[in-house]
Structure 1
Amino acid sequence: MFYHNQYSCPQPNPICHSPDYTKLPYDVNFCFPIRALENDTVVITPLIPTVHAKIVFELILEYPCVMRYMSIHSFPSLSAFEAHCESARANPETCLFIILKQGTQDKILGIISFCRASPALSTIEIGSVIVFPPYQGTHVSTHAIGLMMQYALDLPSSGGLGVRRLQWQCYTINIASIKVAQRMGFREEAIIRWHRPQAIGKESCAPFRADDSLGVPGRHSAYLSVCWDDWEQGVRDRVAALLSRG
């Protein structure tokens, strides 16, 4: 035999499970420039664990339903949530944000993120959108998503990043997420079947084989996007109109 295979599974990057968040300013470590985004309704600012982690963790404990369509389960402890925040921070493609009520410093309405960001590909994804139940149906998601869209797709000369593509993905069974994205102007592009494994105990989009090598639930993903030409050909105005309704 004239060949062999010496592949070994790469080890994950070590993540500090007790990160030192006392060092300020907090380094968000994101591959695009970041600033606070706001309008008359909400403020979107990076999640800083020393300031926000305990409040967010307690809200997730109070409203576990918000984790239903996330790929992971809820967090067993504050330190586990802090480790999750550090894992996200260590990845320059991701930045976690909190959604604050305008005019407050600690009234957290939800969380949202930029993820799978690539300056080389000129693309960003909006992900991890959670609005806590007391604020659902109050246009918080519209304002938060709209501000993120404006920042991502507006040209730098208008205060944005000017990416070519802003994408959105979710469970195909998460109909509410698909409808929110479409309402904001995202267009459905594809269904990616068996796109990602899910944590044990999560809903599976379909039964998987008994001898499946992963042995965990799987997710079919809906992919939607707004690209720069969509933005300039009407989606920008659509978002501005939605935000103007209060």
Structure 2
Amino acid sequence: MFYHNQYSCPQPNPIRHSPDYTMLPYDVNFCFPIRALEDDTVVVTPLIPTVHAKIVFELILEYPCVMRYMSIHSFPSLSAFEAHCESARANPETCLFIILKQGTQDKILGIISFCRASPALSTIEIGSVIVFPPYQGTHVSTHAIGLMMQYALDLPSSGGLGVRRLQWQCYTINIASIKVAQRMGFREEAIIRWHRPQAIGKESCAPFRADDSLGVPGRHSAYLSVCWDDWEQGVRDRVAALLSRG
């Protein structure tokens, strides 16, 4: 035999609590320029663990339903949530944000993220959209998502990043998420079947084989997008109109 295979599964880097947790300014380590985004209703600003982690963790603990469609379970402790924040920060494709009520420093209405970002591909995804139950139905998600769409898709000359593609993905059974995206102007592109594994105990899109090598639930994902030409041909105006309604 003239070949062999010495591949071994790479070990994940240990998640550490960054020294940056106790130092300001906090390094968000994101592959695109970043800034706070705001209008008359909300402020979308990077999640800084020393300032925001405890409040967000306690809100997730109070409203565990917000984790239903996430790939992971709720966090068993504050330190586990801080480790999650550090894992996200260590990945330059991801930046976590909090959604603040305009005019406040600690009234956290929800969280949201940029993820799977790539300057080389000129693409960003909006993900991890959570609005806590007391603020659902109050246009918080419209304003937060709209601000992030404007920042991602507007040209640099207009204060944005000017990416070609802004995408959105969610569990196919998360109909509310699909409807929110479509309302904001995202167009459904595809259903990716058995796209991602889910944590043990999470809902599975369908029964999986008894001898499945992963042995955990899986999900079908809906993919939606707004591309630069969609933006120029009407979605920008659609978003501006939604934001102007208050």
Q: TM-score, normalised by structure 1?
A: 0.99
- 2:153/2:160 contact within 8 Å kept: yes
For structure 2, the residue ranges without an aligned partner over 5 or more in a row are none
8 Å contact kept, 1:152–1:161: yes
Distance 2:132 2:215 in 1: 32
12-21 or 175-184, which deviates more: 12-21
User: C-alpha distance in 2, partners of 1:85/1:20?
Assistant: 12
**Structure 2 counterparts to residues 192-211 of structure 1, below 5 A:** 192-211=192-211
CA separation in 2, counterparts of 1:17 and 1:63?
25
Change (3 A) 1:182 1:18: same
Q: Deviations over 1:193-224 (max 9, x none)?
A: 00000000000000000000000000100000
Give the Å deviation of 1:14: 2.3
Give 3-state SS (helix, strand or coil) of 1:106's partner.
Answer: coil
3-state SS, counterpart of residue 20 of structure 1 = helix
Q: Secondary structure at the match of 2:79?
A: helix
Residues 172 and 221 in structure 1, CA contact (< 8 A), matched pair in contact too: yes
What is residue 155 of structure 1 aligned with on the other side? 155
SS of 1:151's equivalent? helix
Map of 2:190 onto structure 1: 190
User: Contact 1:18–1:79 (CA<8 Å) still a contact in 2?
Assistant: no
- The secondary structure found in structure 2 opposite 1:202 is coil
Q: Give, in angstroms, the shift of residue 13 of structure 1.
A: 1.9
The answer to whether the Cα contact below 8 Å between 2:53 and 2:81 also exists between their aligned partners in 1 is yes
Change (3 A) 1:17 1:25: closer
Q: What's the offset of the Cα at 1:18?
A: 6.6
CA displacement at 1:73 relative to structure 2: 0.2
Work out the CA distance in 1 between the residues paired with 2:14 and 2:55. Answer: 26
Distance 2:4 2:165 in 1: 41
Contact 2:69 2:174 in 1 (8 A): yes
* Alpha-carbon distance in 1 for matches of 2:112, 2:65: 16
CA distance in 2, matches of 1:209, 1:224: 28
Matched residue, 2:215: 215
Does the CA contact (< 8 Å) of 1:19 and 1:83 recur in 2? no
Q: 1:182 offset after TM fit, Å?
A: 0.2
State the 1:11 CA deviation.
Answer: 1.2
SS in 2 for 1:181: helix
1:140-189 Cα offsets, whole Å, 9 max, x none, are: 00000000000000000000000000000000000000000000000000
Structure 1: gaps of 5 or more residues = none
Q: Is the 8 A contact 1:113 1:129 kept in 2?
A: yes
Note if contact 1:114-1:127 (Cα within 8 Å) is conserved in structure 2: yes
The answer (yes or no) to whether the contact 2:152–2:160 under 8 Å persists in 1 is yes
Asked if structure 2 preserves the Cα contact closer than 8 Å seen for 1:154 and 1:162, the reply is yes
Structure 1 69/90 Cα, relative in aligned 2: closer, same or farther at 3 Å? same
Give the Cα–Cα distance (whole angstroms) in 2 for the partners of residues 236 and 220 of structure 1.
29
Give the Cα–Cα distance (whole angstroms) in 2 for the partners of residues 197 and 71 of structure 1.
8
TM-score, with length taken from structure 2? 0.99
Residue by residue over 1:88-117, the C-alpha shift from the partner in whole angstroms, topping out at 9 and shown as x without a partner, is 000000000000000000000000000000
Aligned CA distance change for structure 1 residues 62 and 19 (closer, same or farther; 3 Å): farther
Cα distance 1:236–1:219, how it changes in 2: closer, same or farther (>3 A)?
same
Q: Aligned partners of 1:146 and 1:225: how far apart in 2?
A: 14
Task: State the Cα RMSD in Å.
Answer: 0.8
Q: How far did residue 20 of structure 1 move?
A: 4.8
- Range with bigger deviation, 112-121 or 9-18: 9-18
After TM superposition, the runs of 4+ consecutive aligned structure 1 residues lying more than 6 A away are: none
Q: Is the 8 A contact 2:20 2:27 kept in 1?
A: no
Aligned residues: 246
1:226 Cα offset (Å): 0.1
Q: Deviations 1:20-55 (Å, cap 9, x if unpaired)?
A: 511111000000000000000000000000000000
Question: How far off is 1:3 after superposition?
Answer: 0.9
